[in-house]
Structure 1
Amino acid sequence: MTILTDKEIFDAIRERRGKSLSQADVDAINAVLYPAGGRVVSKNGLDLIKSFEGLSLKAYPDPGTGGEPITIGYGHTGGIKLGTVWTQAQADSALAVDVSRFADGVAGLIGSAPTTQGQFDAMVSLAYNVGLANFGSSTLLKKHKAGDYAGAKTEFARWNKAAGKVMAGLTRRRAAEAELYGS
């Protein structure tokens, strides 16, 4: 069984349609891929995501790669081109949709494993940054599901690189996520 990343899924849909996707198209596809329901991210988790993603109403290239993915708002990617400008309302809306999608994805991946709100929020923040496919194949998730919470907490520190380079911002984010996980 092949698991496709979100980017691969959206690229395939764009190719099949022969045109780019609107934000409404992306939201509709996300609703199918990640149905509503399940756990929600707390204010602490949302604040953590927002603080590390920051807000940019103008699209910019990924700081780790200098290119893809092009990002806007609070770390929103997918169908964004350099030069795109958003309003605060667009950024807030995309954040709500994105966080909900990642919360649903993480909830599905952790299944019935006992999980505190802090653990859930920390894992959603990680997945929001590294992608659901990467989170889904992580040792962190395996340890969490096995009940090795101390081991899972130490795994956050491993996710501090972009394009093979240790990033100070990612190191700080992972420390904050690990702290939230342990709360």
Structure 2
Amino acid sequence: MQTSANGINLIKQFEGLRLAAYQDSVGVWTVGYGHTSPDVKPGLRISNEQAEQLLRQDLARFEKGVGRLVKAPISQNQFDALVSFSYNLGLGSLQSSTLLRLLNQGDYQGAAGQFPRWDRAGGQVLAGLTHRRLAERDLFLRAA
């Protein structure tokens, strides 16, 4: 599966676009739509086109990872929510999560209930993460 326009818009909405490298809430150097890598360093500036290209590259990695980890049948909206979740938190977080375990057991409601639990960065509850997790949960629960 690939992320739909709805999923991409959700990611863009919550990541925001920053063309100059910055440190996120836990000190990770970031640029574009939440892109992180060893290449992102202080002073890095990119264009809108480069931000879009990095987003596409990052999405491909997360789409592949979600496809590999999820064993239960899922809808496009559920896939999009899981890609957004993973894009923000990393595939390792999804892989070790109760959310994934419940989903793969076929407990879709239980899995949906796990999204709001992931609202912290650096041990602190962040309002932006709370809003993102609720939006992801709502998308996950929306009929395809």
What is the match of residue 16 of structure 1? Answer: none
What is the match of residue 72 of structure 1? Answer: 31
The alpha carbon displacement at 1:178 in A equals 0.1
- 1:52 and 2:14 are equivalent in the alignment: yes
RMSD (Å), alpha carbons: 0.7
Q: In structure 2, what is the Cα distance between the partners aligned to 1:177 and 1:90?
A: 26
What percentage of residue pairs aligned between the two structures are identical?
A: 50
Question: Structure 1: which 5+ residue stretches go unaligned?
Answer: 1-38
Q: In structure 2, what is the Cα distance between the partners aligned to 1:131 and 1:162?
A: 13
Q: In structure 2, what is the Cα distance between the partners aligned to 1:147 and 1:167?
A: 30
The alpha carbon displacement at 1:40 in A equals 0.3
Other structure's SS at 1:59 match: strand
Q: In structure 2, what is the Cα distance between the partners aligned to 1:147 and 1:98?
A: 28
- 1:182 and 2:115 are equivalent in the alignment: no
- 1:101 and 2:61 are equivalent in the alignment: yes
**Given residue 145 of structure 1, which amino acid in structure 2 is its aligned partner?**
N
Matches of residues 20-59 of structure 1 in structure 2 within 5 Å?
Answer: 39-59=1-21
What is the match of residue 46 of structure 2? Answer: 86
Q: In structure 1, what is the Cα distance between the partners aligned to 2:126 and 2:100?
A: 22
Give 1:143's match in structure 2, choosing from 92, 98, 102.
102
Question: For each residue in 1:120-171, what CA deviation from the matched residue of structure 2 results, as whole angstroms up to 9, or x when unmatched?
Answer: 1001100000000111110001111111010000100010000000000000
- 1:163 and 2:125 are equivalent in the alignment: no
Q: In structure 2, what is the Cα distance between the partners aligned to 1:182 and 1:51?
A: 19
Q: In structure 2, what is the Cα distance between the partners aligned to 1:83 and 1:169?
A: 25
Q: In structure 1, what is the Cα distance between the partners aligned to 2:98 and 2:130?
A: 18
Residues paired across the two proteins, number: 141
What is the match of residue 18 of structure 1? Answer: none
Q: In structure 1, what is the Cα distance between the partners aligned to 2:125 and 2:57?
A: 29
Other structure's SS at 1:72 match: strand
**Given residue 66 of structure 2, which amino acid in structure 1 is its aligned partner?**
V
Question: Structure 2: which 5+ residue stretches go unaligned?
Answer: none
What is the match of residue 61 of structure 1? Answer: 23
The alpha carbon displacement at 1:100 in A equals 1.1
Question: For each residue in 1:22-77, what CA deviation from the matched residue of structure 2 results, as whole angstroms up to 9, or x when unmatched?
Answer: xxxxxxxxxxxxxxxxx1011111100000000000000012x2x2x100000000
Q: In structure 1, what is the Cα distance between the partners aligned to 2:98 and 2:133?
A: 15
- Relative to the length of structure 2, the TM-score reads 0.96
Other structure's SS at 2:73 match: coil
- Relative to the length of structure 1, the TM-score reads 0.76
